[in-house]
Amino acid sequence: MGTTIFAEMSAMAVATGSVNLGQGFPDTDGPAVVAEAAAAAIMAGRGNQYPPGPGVPELRRAIAAHQQRFYGLDVNPDTEVLVTAGATEAIAAALLALTEPGDEVIAFEPYYDSYAACIALAGAVRVPVTLRPPDFRPDLDALRAAITPRTRLILLNTPHNPTGAVFSRAELTAIADLAVEHDLLVITDEVYEHMVFDGEHVPIVTLPGMAGRTVTISSAGKTFAFTGWKIGWVTGSAELVTAVRTVKQFLTFVSGGPFQYAVAEGLALPDSYYAQLNGDLRARRDLLCDGLAEAGFAVYRPAGTYFVTTDISALGETDGIAFCRSLPERAGVVAIPAAVFYDDAKAGESLVRFAFCKKPEVLEEALTRLRRGLA
Ligand X SMILES: Cc1ncc(COP(=O)(O)O)c(C=O)c1O
Distance CA 247, CA 83 (A): 13
What is the Cα–Cα distance from 184 to 353, expressed in whole angstroms? 31
Site string for ligand X, 195-224 (x = CB under 6 A): ------------------------x-x---
Q: Which is nearer to ligand X, 82 or 295 (CB)?
A: 82
Contact residue for ligand X among 191, 205, 207, 281 (CB under 6 A): 191
Q: How far is the CB of 233 from ligand X (least distance, A)?
A: 9
Does 24 interact with ligand X (rule: CB under 6 A)? yes
Cα-only R_g, the chain: 20
Helix/strand/coil for 158: coil
* Rounded distance between C-alpha atoms, residue 297 and residue 322, angstroms: 16
Residue span 150-179 as binding mask against ligand X, x where in contact by CB under 6 A, dash where not: -------x---x------------------
According to DSSP, residue 204 is labeled G
Site track 100-139 with ligand X (rule: CB under 6 A), x = hit: ------------x---------------------------
**Least spacing, CB of residue 230 vs ligand X, in Å:** 6
Contact yes or no for 208/240 (Cβ under 8 A):
no
Residues in CB range of 39: below 8 A, 6 or more apart: none
- Residue placing its CB nearer to ligand X in the complex, 232 or 291: 232
What residues contact residue 142 under an 8 Å CB cut-off, 6+ apart? Answer: 129, 130
What are the two backbone dihedrals, phi and then psi, of residue 279, each rounded to the nearest 5 degrees?
A: -65, -40
Q: Per rule CB under 6 A, is residue 227 in the interface with ligand X?
A: yes
Minimum CB distance to ligand X, residue 268 (Å): 19
Interatomic CA distance for residues 15 and 114, integer angstroms: 26
**Residue 235 makes contact with ligand X by CB under 6 A:** no
Residues lying near ligand X in the complex (CB under 6 A) are found at 24, 86-88, 112, 157, 161, 189, 191, 219, 221, 227, 230, 232
